[in-house]
Structure 1
Amino acid sequence: MSSGASEQIVTVGRVAGLFGVSGWLRIYSYTQPRENILGYGEWYLAAGGQWQPAGLEQGQRQGKGIVAKLAGIDGRDQARKWLGSTIAVARSALPEPEPGEYYWVDLEGLRVRTVDGAELGVVDHLFATGANDVLVVRGERERLVPFVLDEVVERVDPQAGVIEVDWDPEF
């Protein structure tokens, strides 16, 4: 899959180091719990701006982290080329979220407007603050809008491509 392929991919971790001499990799997982990353048999690793398919052969929890063995990588030198690589999976491999829950990737690119109809822009990306997630909305200027359902975010309609917020456009 190249970066221009039609299948959407979602980042789930990165290669953080080498483990042993048989080609195993230390994995930093973004999934919760972290071992959920091992549930996806087909990974994509970023290499030179392109996504390369990588079949997960084995994986396990190792101390507080995760280690994985990818198909076709049988030695430390082969594994070394993947150090620092981003790990992604096909969006279609993710389970459907529960009602009222959303994957960030599904919110990116949606138009944001107030409940009064004022267009604020488009969701560029999100970030977590600990208290709540925040939408970074880019329009005539950048706005940071808390993603708090039923307080700030009144409606999310991915099919229509819109998020309605109770938010002052002057903020």
Structure 2
Amino acid sequence: MTERVCVGAIAGAFGVRGEVRLKSFTSQPNDIAAYAPLYTEDGSRSFTVRLTRPVTGGLGARLSGVETREQAEALKGVTLWADRDKLPALPDDEFYHADLIGLSVHDTGGALLGKVRAIYDHGAGDILEIHGPGRRRVLLLPFTRAFVPTVDLAAGRIVADPPDEQE
């Protein structure tokens, strides 16, 4: 498990006084401010967060050390990471995306399908992107109990029951 988890991203500047448009990846978007300080992915910068108002596509926020529109614009696309110990514990059937990436994926017979490379959420539920040796195509698998009956973080393994593939 990683020490930090990605909880948001800066979508750009908002206004002229250094406010940013913040995309929150937390289940309750406003909770992102409670997990501060938030760090850049490389850990080189940290920010305290004060939410200011809802804005189209996210939240308006003031970040410590960001005073001008130019400074806010320079942060566009930066992901924000929180220390894992500030995040809530999850129920047994929920997982942080960061914990799933890199896990090996085996079918119900034990054959290796590959490893989780990414997780996508386009609004209808999470999709696992699985890459593996000898695969000509990426396997995209809905992250539901029907297709992923077992996730064993301690063993670093996922058991999946993918639909039949046509390669």
TM-score by length of 1: 0.78
Match 2:18 to one of 15, 23, 26: 23
Q: Which sections of structure 2, spanning at least 5 residues, go unmatched?
A: none
Q: Name segments (4+ residues, structure 1) moved above 4 Å.
A: 168-171
Query: Residues of 2 paired with 1:66 and 1:56: CA distance?
Result: 15
Query: Residues of 2 paired with 1:114 and 1:154: CA distance?
Result: 10
Stretch of structure 1 that moved more, 78-87 or 117-126: 78-87
Identity of aligned residues (%): 35
Give the CA RMSD over aligned residues.
2.5
Q: 1:161 is matched with which residue?
A: 156
Q: 1:135 is matched with which residue?
A: 128
Query: Residues of 1 paired with 2:36 and 2:76: CA distance?
Result: 20
Amino acid at match of 1:9: R
Give the Å deviation of 1:71.
Answer: 2.2
Aligned length: 162
| Contact 2:37 2:82 survives alignment (8 Å) | yes
Q: 1:145 is matched with which residue?
A: 141
The structure in which a higher percent of residues are strand is 1
Q: Deviations over 1:13-58 (max 9, x none)?
A: 2222334444322212222322121112111135xxx443322152
2:41 counterpart of 1:59: no
| Contact 1:42 1:53 survives alignment (8 Å) | no
Give the Å deviation of 1:73.
Answer: 2.7
Q: Deviations over 1:64-100 (max 9, x none)?
A: 5422222233333443432332222233332121111
Q: Which sections of structure 1, spanning at least 5 residues, go unmatched?
A: 1-5
| SS of the residue 2:149 aligns to | strand
Query: 1:1-171 maps to which residues of 2 (within 5 A)?
Result: 8-45=3-40, 50-63=42-55, 65-139=58-132, 140-141=134-135, 142-149=138-145, 151-167=146-162, 170=165
Amino acid at match of 1:52: S
| Contact 2:33 2:49 survives alignment (8 Å) | no
TM-score by length of 2: 0.80
| Contact 1:56 1:68 survives alignment (8 Å) | no
